[in-house]
Structure 1
Amino acid sequence: MTFSDHDAYIAAAPQRFCPLLATLRAQLARTLPDAEEVIQYNMPGFRIGRSIVASYAAFSKQCGLYLSPGAITAHTNEIAAAGLNATKTGITFPASNPIPADLVERLALTSRKDLGL
């Protein structure tokens, strides 16, 4: 399935994740007000220039927030303290344990800075 915009992506996600994705989208839009909402690699993201600063996704059992590797590294301790799992470029979380709003903001701003934007 391909998506034309963030609304279509969120509407097609598993029902239990829709409110979480809508909140995450709003948090990222507030934090990155000059970013363009795009669909890239079939995921909703926020792009500045040619760079995706942050993107998000829903899967069958969890959601993910994807950022620059430097953002993940810079906030490793906070991610772990929130009980979240991180990879080199993403953080996965169940609907029962979303990423705290203040951490989403710090991650997005760090990703932007890490990308030189």
Structure 2
Amino acid sequence: MTTVVDHDAYIEAAPEAFQPLLTRLRAILARALPEAEEMVAYNMPGFRIGGTVVASYAAFSRQCGLYLLPGAIAEQADEIAAAGLKATKTGITFSPRKPIPDDLVERLAQASSKEAAGG
């Protein structure tokens, strides 16, 4: 992918099979983080509150990733595992065949926002 300047350009440049998934993820994050501003950092679209990136996402050749603050991942670890998804300290990988459930995305985004606010 080339350098992107906004979420629309990123999604448009992503593999076609991932575009609907990324569009849905963006909408869920925007709804869950109404106080956040959209931004692009490290060539990944994300959402920032103040100076802190609380959620970002990316598309790769075979999967997508959702990236959050570590406390959000830890707080929702059981739900992530129950959904059959793999997580690292700050990210969850998923595919169109096994997407992250919408309600889990919302809970993760809100937990990441809460962590950014210091609580």
The verdict on a shared fold, with TM-score over 0.5 as the criterion, is: yes
Aligned to 1:78: 79
SS where residue 18 of structure 2 aligns? Answer: helix
SS where residue 39 of structure 2 aligns? Answer: strand
CA distance in 2, matches of 1:113, 1:25: 19
CA distance in 1, matches of 2:117, 2:49: 10
Give the CA RMSD over aligned residues: 0.7
Normalising by the residue count of structure 2, what TM-score does the alignment of the two structures yield?
0.96
5 Å matches for 1:5-20? 5-20=6-21
Shift of 1:34: 1.5
Unmatched 5+ residue regions in structure 2?
A: none
1:4-62 Cα shifts (integer Å, max 9, x gaps):
10000000000000000000000000011111100001000000110001000000000
SS where residue 61 of structure 2 aligns? Answer: coil
CA distance in 2, matches of 1:116, 1:33: 14
Aligned to 2:114: 113
SS where residue 27 of structure 1 aligns? Answer: helix
Is 1:27 equivalent to 2:35 in the alignment? no
Normalising by the residue count of structure 1, what TM-score does the alignment of the two structures yield?
0.98
CA distance in 1, matches of 2:69, 2:5: 24
SS where residue 61 of structure 1 aligns? Answer: coil
How many residue pairs are counted as aligned between the two chains?
117
**Amino acid in the other structure paired with 2:16:** Q
Runs (4 or more) in structure 1 with deviation over 2 Å come to: none
SS where residue 19 of structure 1 aligns? Answer: helix
SS where residue 88 of structure 1 aligns? Answer: coil
1:61-108 Cα shifts (integer Å, max 9, x gaps):
000000000000001100000000000000001110110000000000
CA distance in 1, matches of 2:89, 2:59: 18
Percent sequence identity over aligned pairs? 68
